[in-house]
Chain A
Amino acid sequence: MNVKLEDENPINPSGPAAWDAGGGTSGPPVSPRGPGSVGSAAPGDGSRSNLASKLRWQGRFKVWGGQLLLAVVIIGGWQWFTAEHWVDPFTFGQPTGIVHRLYTLFRDGTAFGSYPEQILVTLQEAVYGFLIGAAAGILMGVSLGTNRYLSSVISPYIKIVNAIPRIVLGSIFVVAFGFGITGKMLLAAVLVFFVVFFNAFQGVREVDPNVIANARVLGAKPLHIIRHVTLPSAMTWIIASLHTAFGFAIVGALVAEILGSEKGLGLVITTAQGTFDADGVFAVMLTVAVITLVAEFILTRLERRLLAWRPQSRSDAPAI
């Protein structure tokens, strides 16, 4: 309703804002979706909104209940089967054993330093590798996506390199850089690079040509177009890739450590493997899962901030 009213206002170029003068509506503008879509939750009909929130909570409890049940079945089943020795706890670990192993890892540390130190080393390799790989991936993706000649020249090589099992590069890096963190960082960066690169490249290719034509006519130089049009447009793709990319960074760092290192969670894993300590391997896995979940959380916050312009959930669309 309000939207239509505004459209009928004649333009009043010299006077005060036509919208203020004629519309008689002084509140904030109505979003295109209008109030209709959220009518059921409108304040005023209290009983109905109470009912709605009750139903919503009921739904949530149902989901949480299901999730809890699933965890109990899996972990409890594991514990039960190994406790009854239907499954050998020595080879397959045992939940209580894993928790205990985690506790001793934190209390006693490892042969090569405290456990938090190992976590920090791996984290450092993964984060640096992630940052380097993501930056390189975005840079290459955007340059190749915007430059047809460059992409024709380079893309076959990228395909070839992508076809190589890159994990093996870890061995080369151990030979080249020794047991320090450089090689681990690089392997993580290489794994991250390809994920981010392909997404950035595709994202740049998906930019609406109309929008670019318009920017060019308005006087944009190529750098303007990249900064104001291409990069923000590809950002949706790039950010989506970062979620997977961080997982790859951790994998890269761990594998490189397993191939040869003097510190880090990968070394804790190889040590545990060498002593047939299944609980130890699972304990490190659990640690890595926590790290990845925290990183995921941070990335989701970043995503929300960078993509704030996108139409979000329905609830915050109408400003009235």
Chain B
Amino acid sequence: MTGVTSLLSVAAMSLTHGASPHSARVELNGVSKRFLTPSGDVFTAIQDVTFAVEPGQFCALVGPTGCGKSTSLSLVSGLDKPSSGTVSVGGTEVVGIADGVSFMFQTDALLPWKSVLHNVALGPIFRGASKREAQASARDWLRRVGLAGFEDRYPHQLSGGMRKRVAMAAALINEPRILIMDEPFGALDVQTKAIMSNELLALWEQVRCSVIFITHDLDEAVALADRVVVMTSSPGTVKDIYDIDLPRPRGDVQEIRFQPRFVELQRQIWSSLRDEVERAYAATAGAMA
């Protein structure tokens, strides 16, 4: 079974990006992004953002609402272009859709008119695999996320947690070098969120791609990540970067919360984040008043 799996994933790998390494370094250097608002003003979403994600590292991005976290990520994936500064993946600057990047959104981007199997098989099909190869690979990934037997269901027939797993399989099937997750579990209830976090970690331990993970939830960030980047409120820039030295594998994300080192790190980062959250809150409260 394991042999078949690794063979399949090797096949999928060579299919998507040849002999290139399995993970890549992501580097944002002095990146700013400005938008023109409908009223003609210039709105600066992020300003002079500089941070790096090492190959195979799990990096969490935390910050108050509206601080440009999602904007930063759309620049990494190549969906958007920076106004100034450079974004590079694996040493080459990102121009257009970056190769070997997968995205997971807060609202799942599954196609409701396709069965679970066909949804997961989309990645390889878009990249030119034959239908049979794509479906074989999709079956394998569905098994890996624990959804064997659900291939013929439609997304609306699944629970929230199961849909997330389909989205995970769909994102990982291309064997990405970088996995970008924009509050992927934000819409889940607390228990399901904890379960999904554990499953994500278990999967990531196998594929070891670089991960950039956006979240509001500091506990989630510390429990999952190797590095936590704290962003300031709008216009977003990098305030602090913390390396999380909790040992891997982390085990249960709910258990790890009680370790003294976790509590210490969490407190440190929170003291940095709190000012920003309060500033962002004051700004919105001011706007409301």
- Taking beta carbons and an 8 Å cutoff, which residues of A are in contact with B? 3, 6-20, 29, 31-32, 208, 210-211, 213-221, 224, 228-229, 232-233, 235, 307, 309-311, 317
In the assembled complex, the Cα of A11 lies from the Cα of B161 at a distance in Å of 13
Q: Are B156 and A311 in contact (CB under 8 A)?
A: yes
**A14 interface neighbour in B1, B111, B150, B174, Cβ under 8 Å:** B1
Known: A13-B206, A210-B109. A224 touches B162 (CB 8 A): no
Return chain B residues, CB-CB under 8 Å to A20. 148-149
Q: What are 28 A-B residue pairs whose CB atoms fall within 8 Å in the complex?
A: A6-B146, A6-B161, A9-B146, A11-B145, A11-B202, A11-B203, A13-B202, A13-B206, A15-B1, A17-B143, A17-B146, A18-B146, A19-B150, A32-B159, A214-B105, A215-B109, A217-B97, A218-B102, A218-B123, A219-B174, A224-B125, A229-B111, A232-B111, A233-B113, A235-B113, A309-B112, A309-B114, A311-B157
Q: Which one of A3, A211, A218, A233 contacts B126 once the chains associate, using CB atoms below 8 Å?
A: A218
Q: Is the CB of B144 within 8 A of A13?
A: yes
Residue of A nearest to B96 (CB): A216
Chain B residues, CB < 8 A from A13? 5, 144, 202-203, 206
Closest to B16 in A: A219
Distance of A282 Cα from B192 Cα, bound (Å): 64
Report whether A219 and B162 are in contact in the complex, using a CB–CB cutoff of 8 Å.
no
Q: Identify which of residues 137-181 in chain B touch chain A, using a CB-to-CB cut-off of 8 Å.
A: 143-150, 153-154, 156-159, 161-162, 170, 174
A214 touching B109 in the complex, CB below 8 Å, given contacts A9-B146, A16-B1, A29-B153: yes
Residue of A nearest to B150 (CB): A29
Interface residues of B (CB under 8 A from A): 1-2, 5, 74, 77-79, 97, 101-103, 105, 107, 109, 111-115, 122-123, 125-127, 143-150, 153-154, 156-159, 161-162, 170, 174, 191-192, 195-196, 198-199, 202-203, 206
Shortest Cβ distance from B156 into A: residue: A311
Residue of A nearest to B142 (CB): A17
Q: Is the CB of A10 within 8 A of B114?
A: no
Minimum CB–CB distance from B86 to chain A (whole Å) comes to: 20
Q: How far is the CA of A229 from the CA of B109 in the complex (A)?
A: 11
B174 near A309: Cβ-Cβ < 8 Å: no
- A-B pairs, 5 with minimum CB distance: A17-B148, A214-B109, A219-B126, A18-B146, A309-B113
User: In the complex, what residues of B have CB within 8 A of residue A219's CB?
Assistant: 97, 123, 126-127, 174
Which chain B residue lies CB-closest to A221? B126
Smallest CB-CB separation from A214: which chain B residue? B109
Cβ-defined contact, A6 with B203, below 8 A: no
Residues from chain B with Cβ under 8 Å of A224 in the complex = 125-126
Shortest Cβ distance from residue A55 to the other chain B in the assembled complex, whole angstroms: 29
